[in-house]
Amino acid sequence: MRVIGGLHRSRQLVSPKGTATRPTSDRLRETLFNILQPRLEGCRFVDLYAGTGAVGIEAISRGATHVWFAENSVAALGSIRTNLATLKITQGFTLEDRGTGAMLQRLAKLPGTIDIVFLDPPYEAEQEYLGTLNFFGSAKGRVILAAGAVIVAEHASRTKMPGRFGALELVDTRKQGDAALSLYEIPLVDSSIRGSV
């Protein structure tokens, strides 16, 4: 596993031993960042269920201003810390070791807004997908999101993701082997209900 592009291109990343953590494949990460590339420079990026941190690190490598990592597995947290240290990334990130629920509470108190959210819970954890996407589609979650923000969910390609979560609408799905990426956005016509964010 390696960084695909940007400042840290081709640098190797570590992951925990065993199958408890399922890192996003290099190929799927390349697809993801080809889609996100126009939005990356200077963005504020959230990597939920971060695992090895490969997705958030890729965002840093490609110009994200700040990345929030959420992970509560001790082994995975060790990999994130090792990967950041190996690449000498010492600023521009926040690591929440209590997991996604704690991160969502933290984000709700932030000054400013988020441009990109990536979530990759265990494929079988349906409630994690539903809870997180419903949060961002709710009035409380929408306030966190910048105008034009995108939420990307990685999931099993056999899973058909709902077309809507509150204000979030499914705008694209890209399948690659056993995995898929579903992209959600809030239509810009809804921007008036978000207030002055």
Cα end-to-end span (Å), the chain: 37
Inside any domain, residue 136 = yes
Inside any domain, residue 3 = no
**pLDDT value of position 19:** 55
| CATH code, 119 | 3.40.50.150
Q: Given pLDDT bands bounded at 50, 70 and 90, which one contains residue 193?
A: very low
Inside any domain, residue 17 = no
Beta bridge partners of 181: 154, 174
Percent of the chain at pLDDT > 70 equals 93
The whole-chain average pLDDT of the chain stands at: 91
The model's pLDDT over 160-170, given as tens digits with 9 standing for 90+, comes to 999 999 999 99
**pLDDT value of position 197:** 37
Inside any domain, residue 91 = yes
**Cβ pair 194, 147 in contact under 8 A:** yes
Residue range of the domain that includes 102: 28-194
This prediction's pTM: 0.91
124-159 core/surface letters (b: 16 or more CB in 10 A; e: else): eeeebbeebbebbbeeebbebbbeebbbbbbbeeee
Beta bridge partners of 156: 179
Structure tokens at 20: 């408890």
The model's pLDDT over 57-97, given as tens digits with 9 standing for 90+, comes to 999 999 999 999 999 999 999 999 999 999 999 999 999 99
Beta bridge partners of 169: 164, 185
How many domains, the chain?
1
Q: Give the separation between CA 74 and CA 58, rounded to whole angstroms.
A: 21
Residue 153 has pLDDT above 70, yes or no: yes
The side-by-side arrangement of strands in the sheet containing 114-119 is: 93-96, 66-70, 44-48, 114-119, 145-156, 179-185, 168-176, 164-165
**pLDDT value of position 10:** 87
Under DSSP, the state recorded for 58 is H
**Cβ pair 24, 154 in contact under 8 A:** yes
Q: Give the separation between CA 5 and CA 45, rounded to whole angstroms.
A: 16
